Amino acid sequence: EAGVVQSPRYKIIEKKQPVAFWCNPISGHNTLYWYLQNLGQGPELLIRYENEEAVDDSQLPKDRFSAERLKGVDSTLKIQPAELGDSAVYLCASSLAGLAGDEQFFGPGTRLTVL
Amino acid sequence: GDSVTQMEGPVTLSEEAFLTINCTYTATGYPSLFWYVQYPGEGLQLLLKATKADDKGSNKGFEATYRKETTSFHLEKGSVQVSDSAVYFCALSSVGNEKLTFGTGTRLTIIP
């Protein structure tokens, strides 16, 4: 079974430029998560989707971040414009039904460096 | 809100030593508790979990018991190996707040 796929793996951009990250969850998984992981910290949720609906986006900085999950499968996370403080690892995860006890499966992450 | 407090690292042990990584939590209701591990160059993966009080999660020789009275979920292993070197994250998820809330992680290094 294929795992969660993310691309790109690494991205270096100048500040104020836009950037987009793509995630393909495990087939059949209805719930998709985007997490932000700063160096030396645990991941923190940015947004959670149930199928194509964003059910928790309370931690997403909506002035510069946006996300979509068209057709309830792949998802894209965008930052425009990027700031120096956005340098971090962006993780995508998926789970079968989004229940509290469900295992979340993580992708390898996209490491973003903003110069 | 939900939070996880994890033992500060890094932790360095000799091979075959006993390991304990402490984890305590604060949550409304009865959360599910997890230990995730990140091996060098790899993504986060589930190590073990427990979904109700007094449950014991176990995998690869690691164990953790859900202690409601002390709000703890300490990770233990009787004899560590060099291959256990990784970063370990304690996490929780609650009904009505079905995201993972992570601790800061503990970097474990095992020396031969």
Cβ of A107 and B95 within 8 Å?
Answer: no
Using CB atoms, which residue from A4, A100, A107 is nearest to B32? A100
Using CB atoms, which residue from B42, B94, B103 is nearest to A42? B103
Question: How confident is the model over B4-26, as a mean pLDDT?
Answer: 95
CA distance B80 to chain A (A): 23
pLDDT in tens, A17-67: 999 999 999 999 999 999 999 999 999 999 999 999 999 999 999 999 999
φ and ψ of B43, to 5 deg: -85, 170
Please state, in angstroms and rounded to a whole number, the distance separating the CA atoms of residues B39 and B78: 19
Q: Is residue A80's pLDDT more than 90? A: yes
Q: Which residue of B has its CA nearest to A39?
A: B104
Q: Is residue B55's pLDDT more than 70? A: yes
Please state, in angstroms and rounded to a whole number, the distance separating the CA atoms of residues A104 and A106: 6
Q: Is residue A1's pLDDT more than 70? A: no
Using CB atoms, which residue from B45, B51, B98 is nearest to A106? B45
Q: Which residue of A has its CA nearest to B41?
A: A108
